[in-house]
Structure 1
Amino acid sequence: MSRKTKQARTATKKRRHRFDPIAALGELLIIMGLLAGLFAFWDVFVTDWQVASYNQKALSSFQQANKPCPNRISKDERTSAPPSVGIKQENETLGALHVPKWNYMVVPVKEGTTQTILNTGAAGHYETTALPGQIGNFSVAAHRRSFGSNFRRIDVLKPGDTVVMETANEWLIYKVRDHKIVLPTQSDVILPVPEKPGVQPTERLMTMTTCNPEYGNWERYIVHLTFNHWVPRDSGIPKELAEGGNACAG
C-alpha cells in the first residue's frame, strides 16, 4: 500500500471523528425536547392520577367526621343567615364544593392556599377572606391543570349556574354572577367587596380563582358568585344536586 493511500485513509478517519458543534447542538435540543415532553406529560396527567386517592380520602374523612347526610331531597330551603362555620387550622378540610355543571364533580376544600395544599388536589380557602356563608367574599383557589385539574372547566360556568358548598352542618347554594380574566397581581378580586377596597360588605359572596389560560399561568380566571339560599345538611340534599346521586361529600 502506498504512502499516499495510507495518508488518505487516515485523513478520512479524522474527518469522520471530528466534533461537529451544530450536530451536537441539534442532538441536545432533541433530548431537551423529549425531557420537556415527558415533564409536561407527568405534570398534566400523572399528577392527576396521583392525587385522586388524596381527594377521596379527604372527602371520606370529612363525611365520617360529621353528621350523617340523609340521601333524600330536602324541601327546607332557607334564605336567613346560615350557621357560622368554625375556623379551621391550615390544611384542615372545611367542606366540599359540588359543581353540577362539571358532571356533579366534588372537590374537597381545605384551609389555606399554599402549593403544598393545592398540590393535594384540593381547593384552598384564602385565609384572609370570609368563611363559607358569611357576609363578605368566601374565596377559593385550585389548579386548572395538573394535581387534580379541579378547576379545569371553570370557563364553562355561566351566570345563573349553581355551585354548592357543603359544610359540616349545611349546604350553601351560590349562583354564578359573572367572570373576568385578570393579571396575577390583581388580588383585589378577593376583597370583601371585589375590586372595591375599604367598602363594607353587605352580601354573601363567593369567588373562585385559577390559572388562565388552561395550559398557562400568566393570567387568572375569576368567577364571582352570590349566595342564594341554604339547606340544613341533616334535612337532606338540595334539589340542585338531585341528579348527582348521593351527593354527601362525594
Structure 2
Amino acid sequence: MVVRTIGEILITLGIVVLLFVGYELYVTNWMSAQLQREASAALDDRWQQERQLHAGPIDGEAFARIYIPSFGADWGFTIQEGTDAAALEVGPGHYKGSALPGEPGNFGVAGHRVGKGAPFNDLDLLNSCDAIVIETVDSFFVYRVLPMSDEIDGWGQGRARDPRCADVEPLRGEAYSSTVGRRIVLPDRGDAVAPVPYRPADVLPKASQASLLTLTTCHPQFSDRERMIIHSVLTNQFKKQPGASYEDLLREIGEA
C-alpha cells in the first residue's frame, strides 16, 4: 500500500510538472503573441501622433521595434519601456535610465528566453558583426555585434574581412576592456547595462562614450542562474523615407 501510494503521488506530481511546462512553453507564448500584436498596433498609432509631438517613452508602453535579420525577415518585436513582469510578458523591455536608441552610452534591452513569446531564445546563435536593427518613430538604427573575446587578437586578419564587419572593431581603451560580443555573467551584474558596461558611471564623459546596444536574457535555457549578455555597437542610422520599409533597409545594409 505504501509503495502504491508513493507511486500514485509521483505520477500525479509528474503530470503537474508536465502541465506547467506545457503552460510555460505554449500557453504563455500564445498569450504573449496576442499582447505583442496589440502592442504593435498601438505603437503604429502612437507613431502617427509622435511625428508631431516627439514624445518620449511612456512607462509600460511600446516605443520602438527590434529586428534581428539573421533570425529571419519576419522576426521582430516591439520594445516596451521598463523591464518588469508586465512589460516583458508583451516583449523585450528597455532598461529605464539606460540610453535611448542612437544615443552615446548603452541602450539596454531585456527579454525572455523561454515562454512569454521567448523573443531572445536564440541570442546564443548571434555572431560578431550580425546586425540588430532598432526602429523608432523616425529612424532605423543599425547595431552590429562586437567581436567575441576569442576574436580580438588578430581581428584585422580574420573576421574583419567580412564586408558586414567594415564598421566593427574591438572597442579600444581600458574602459571598454570587458565589453565584448558575448558574455555570461551572474544575475547581479546589473552594470552590464551601465553607460560604459561593467564600469563606474563617471569613468567616461557622455560625449566620449560609444553608442552601444546591450541585450540581456537568462542563461542557460530553462534556468535563471546566469545571464547572457550581447553587446553591439552603432554603425549606421537611416532616417525613414516615405514609402520605405524594413525590407528596403535590409537590402541597403546587405542583409536581404
The question of a shared fold, defined as TM-score above 0.5 by the shorter chain, is answered with yes
Answer whether contact 1:62 1:93 (CA < 8 A) is retained.
yes
Distance 1:45 1:214 in 2: 15
Answer whether contact 1:176 1:224 (CA < 8 A) is retained.
yes
- Percent of residue pairs identical: 31
Alignment of 1:152 onto 2:121: yes
Distance 1:214 1:164 in 2: 24
Alignment of 1:28 onto 2:9: yes
- Number of residue-to-residue matches in the alignment: 208
Aligned residue type for 1:123: P
The residue aligned with 1:49 is 30
Structure 2 unaligned segments of length 5 or more: list them: 147-180
The residue aligned with 1:184 is 187
The residue aligned with 1:199 is 203
Distance 1:86 1:203 in 2: 25
Answer whether contact 1:67 1:169 (CA < 8 A) is retained.
no
Q: Which of 220, 225, 228 in structure 2 is aligned with 1:213?
A: 220
Distance 2:44 2:98 in 1: 24
Q: What is the CA deviation profile of residues 65-105 of structure 1, one whole-angstrom value per residue up to 9, with x for unaligned ones?
A: 3259xxxxxxxxxxxxxxxx753221111110011011131
CA shift for structure 1 position 64: 3.2
Q: Which of 88, 103, 111 in structure 2 is aligned with 1:118?
A: 88
Distance 2:59 2:12 in 1: 41
Q: What is the CA deviation profile of residues 179-222 of structure 1, one whole-angstrom value per residue up to 9, with x for unaligned ones?
A: 11111111111110001113124211110000111221111110
CA shift for structure 1 position 132: 1.2
Answer whether contact 1:142 1:151 (CA < 8 A) is retained.
yes
Q: Which of 67, 72, 78 in structure 2 is aligned with 1:108?
A: 78
SS where residue 116 of structure 2 aligns?
coil
Alignment of 1:164 onto 2:133: yes
**Runs of 4+ that moved beyond 4 A:** none
Aligned residue type for 1:216: S
The residue aligned with 1:5 is none
Answer whether contact 2:39 2:61 (CA < 8 A) is retained.
no
CA shift for structure 1 position 126: 0.3
SS where residue 241 of structure 2 aligns?
helix
Answer whether contact 1:207 1:223 (CA < 8 A) is retained.
yes
Higher RCO (Cα < 8 Å, 6 or more apart):
1
CA shift for structure 1 position 223: 0.1
Which protein shows a greater Rg?
1
Answer whether contact 2:100 2:107 (CA < 8 A) is retained.
yes
Structure 1 unaligned segments of length 5 or more: list them: 1-19, 69-84
Aligned residue type for 1:228: T
SS where residue 107 of structure 1 aligns?
strand
Alignment of 1:138 onto 2:98: no
SS where residue 145 of structure 1 aligns?
coil
Aligned residue type for 1:184: P
CA RMSD of aligned residues (A): 2.0
